[in-house]
Structure 1
Amino acid sequence: MSDPAPPPADRASGRPSKDPSAPLSIDFRGHRTMLKWHRGRRRADDPPFTASRIVEGMRLGASVEVDLVIHADRGFAVLHDRRIDRATTGSGAIAALPASYLRGQTLLDNRGRPTGERVLLLEDLTDLLTGIEIAPDALLQLDFKEDAAALDDRAVEIFAAGVAPFASHYILSCGDAAAVERLTSAAPGIRVGYDPCHRGAADAAIRSGDYAGFVDRAVSASPDAEMIYLENRLILAADRNGVDLVDAFHARDRRVDGYTVTRVVPDTVREVRRLLELRVDQITTDDPESLAALDFERLDDDTLTGRTDSGSRLVRWVRRTTGLGPGPTTTRA
């Protein structure tokens, strides 16, 4: 995948103008919901974590997410799993692999074929962003996939140095509030996010129905978090029980990201429509382009409540709009 050309410059400001077709957000009933490019994907068939898509998203003003895992030299690899076998041309546990080895590996596409795009480390993000025109509202989420027990002084030092040049364009997230606190405290200017759904917390809230307690615990655990990341199944389970979790976090001055829509198919169209009605601030998706193509304002209730077999109104509407057929729908982070 070649590095995308920059968008044309706005004549008045000299800055790149936004591509109106870029899948950045959905406007629904007066509320704007951002579309987050999960693992740096703009389309469902994109391989994750490619430099070209990260650069493209930051130029356009997208919300882009990448994952971080600690490698043997105590820095951070931009990968999701603890092993690199499935996602790259290399093999082994990331914790045992030095930066030099990781830099020599190539990312694989969704069919397991080499992409020609190399594995990135945290410090490589600075190199990518240096020299490009970053849109003022572009945001790169760094999702730390480990916990505070994996951190030591060296890892924290490397993290702080790695994010310093573009701290205002980064938001750190993690399922461990202690890790969020330790890393963000060392990195002035970075924005703070927190995912309270880990360690069985989402399942416990759904089973108990104690959604108020869930909100209280989340806010208490990470008091500086501006964005709360919630599993869509949790948001929708609470909604079915008459509880608006999005509004509950808004009342605490937190924004809400609902994750993850992997494919745009009839079942997820219904879910996304309800998330939009609940005024979620951001939706994490592997296919921002197809999701942005749907006109939710024109999706009538009769179509929305149709059956999901191949003859239903909703299936026809989705296929007509996006050209997509059935496929996987949602996943956890």
Structure 2
Amino acid sequence: MTDPLYIERNGHRTWLKWHRARRRVSDPVFTGPRILEAMRLGASVEVDLVVHADHGFAILHNATLEAETTGAGRVRETGAAMLRGLHLRDNQGTPLPDRVMLLEDLCQLLQRNPPHPDGLLQLDFKEDFSALHPQTVANFAAGVAPVAGSLILSGGDAAAIEVLAQAAPGLRTGYDPCYGESLARLRATGDYRSFIADAFAAAPKAEMIYLAYEIVLSARAAGFDIIAPIHAAGRRIDAWTIRQITPETLTQVDKLLELKVDQITTDDPEGLLAALAR
């Protein structure tokens, strides 16, 4: 079976990003072995960062522990030692042997298991600038320093991303301007050009712009190529997130490939690649 890394079409390569470190939709999220597999193969893979009580980062998506782990309460109020003792849950809520990782745990894994040169791990910061205590920034920098060249830091708060990136030389950054009712506002105003210009102004150093795929396709339907200004500025675009592989989402993916997006985020990279091959 071909590893789900990218799709080549019409002379353009579009990477398939393993959303929450899933190779296939049945995978549990954020498990160390799957992350290492992705990085060994040279895949693009994403994990989330949430601040914990000891001014560090847990590899989790939610602000609370119940859905993803065997713990309870807020991540922000839970210390590192307790987090490391918790188990992840699978998609049905069953506890797994895999334990919750902290950012430094994951970076140490990568240091012991050097990634493929093409491997890129996206750290998606799920909070905002208010979560950044000076010790949190220092802990981030210390954790990522040994493997910064294999990482890209992203988020929706450009100021927070800038502060963290400044503390970690060699770390690439990305920016996600999609929040709240972004799609509804854009459909109402039709001002996609200003939307992208504002994103560039907010995050002038961002190498990757992360856009909800619905916004990309809505712009296309409105007659505006939202990809062109991103490429013209020397940046790349990630379209997120294809969750299930259905006839409808395959049609949407075909349109994204036609527009030459640089990356598609999906919960089922393996299923998507197989479906496109068929």
TM-score normalized by the length of structure 1: 0.82
CA distance in 2, matches of 1:215, 1:144: 21
Aligned to 1:122: 103
CA distance in 1, matches of 2:156, 2:16: 21
Contact 2:250/2:276, CA 8 A, preserved across alignment? no
CA distance in 1, matches of 2:208, 2:181: 20
CA distance in 2, matches of 1:295, 1:231: 21
Q: CA deviation at 1:295?
A: 3.6
Q: CA deviation at 1:273?
A: 0.2
Whether 1:76 aligns to 2:57 is: yes
Which 4+ runs in 1 deviate beyond 3 A? 199-203
1:38-70 C-alpha deviation (Å, 9 max, x unpaired)? 000000010100001000001000000000000
Whether 1:271 aligns to 2:252 is: yes
Aligned to 1:286: 267
Q: CA deviation at 1:131?
A: 2.4
Whether 1:252 aligns to 2:252 is: no
Contact 2:5/2:15, CA 8 A, preserved across alignment? yes
Q: CA deviation at 1:207?
A: 1.8
User: Does the residue aligned with 1:294 lie in a helix, a strand or coil?
Assistant: helix
User: Does the residue aligned with 2:81 lie in a helix, a strand or coil?
Assistant: helix
CA distance in 1, matches of 2:184, 2:238: 18
Aligned to 2:145: 164
Q: CA deviation at 1:205?
A: 2.1
In structure 2, stretches of 5+ residues that fail to align are none
Whether 1:198 aligns to 2:153 is: no
Aligned to 1:216: 197
Cα 1:199–1:182 change in 2 (3 A) is farther
The one-letter code sitting in structure 1 at the alignment partner of 2:242 is: V
Whether 1:42 aligns to 2:23 is: yes
Q: CA deviation at 1:30?
A: 1.1
CA distance in 1, matches of 2:188, 2:159: 26
Q: CA deviation at 1:128?
A: 1.1
The one-letter code sitting in structure 2 at the alignment partner of 1:235 is: V
Q: CA deviation at 1:199?
A: 4.1
Aligned to 2:13: 32
Aligned to 1:188: 169
Of the structure 1 ranges 217-226 and 129-138, higher mean CA displacement relative to structure 2 is found in: 129-138
CA distance in 2, matches of 1:74, 1:202: 34
Q: CA deviation at 1:287?
A: 0.1
Aligned to 2:34: 53
Q: CA deviation at 1:248?
A: 1.9
User: Does the residue aligned with 1:85 lie in a helix, a strand or coil?
Assistant: coil
User: Does the residue aligned with 1:130 lie in a helix, a strand or coil?
Assistant: helix
Cα 1:133–1:161 change in 2 (3 A) is closer
Q: CA deviation at 1:294?
A: 3.0
Query: How many pairs does the alignment contain?
Result: 278
The one-letter code sitting in structure 1 at the alignment partner of 2:95 is: P
Cα 1:63–1:123 change in 2 (3 A) is same
Contact 2:28/2:89, CA 8 A, preserved across alignment? yes
Match of 1:67 among 48, 66, 72: 48
TM-score normalized by the length of structure 2: 0.98
Higher relative contact order (CA 8 A, sep 6+): 2
Aligned to 1:14: none
The one-letter code sitting in structure 1 at the alignment partner of 2:25 is: A
1:201-240 C-alpha deviation (Å, 9 max, x unpaired)? 4432222100110011000000000000000110010000
The one-letter code sitting in structure 2 at the alignment partner of 1:129 is: L
Q: CA deviation at 1:198?
A: 1.7
In structure 1, stretches of 5+ residues that fail to align are 1-19, 297-320, 322-333
Of the structure 1 ranges 166-175 and 204-213, higher mean CA displacement relative to structure 2 is found in: 204-213
Contact 2:69/2:86, CA 8 A, preserved across alignment? yes
Bigger Rg, structure 1 or 2: 1
Aligned Cα root-mean-square deviation (Å) = 1.1
User: Does the residue aligned with 1:64 lie in a helix, a strand or coil?
Assistant: strand
1:47-94 C-alpha deviation (Å, 9 max, x unpaired)? 100001000001000000000000000100000000010011111100
Whether 1:142 aligns to 2:123 is: yes
Contact 2:148/2:169, CA 8 A, preserved across alignment? yes
User: Does the residue aligned with 2:112 lie in a helix, a strand or coil?
Assistant: coil
Aligned to 1:174: 155
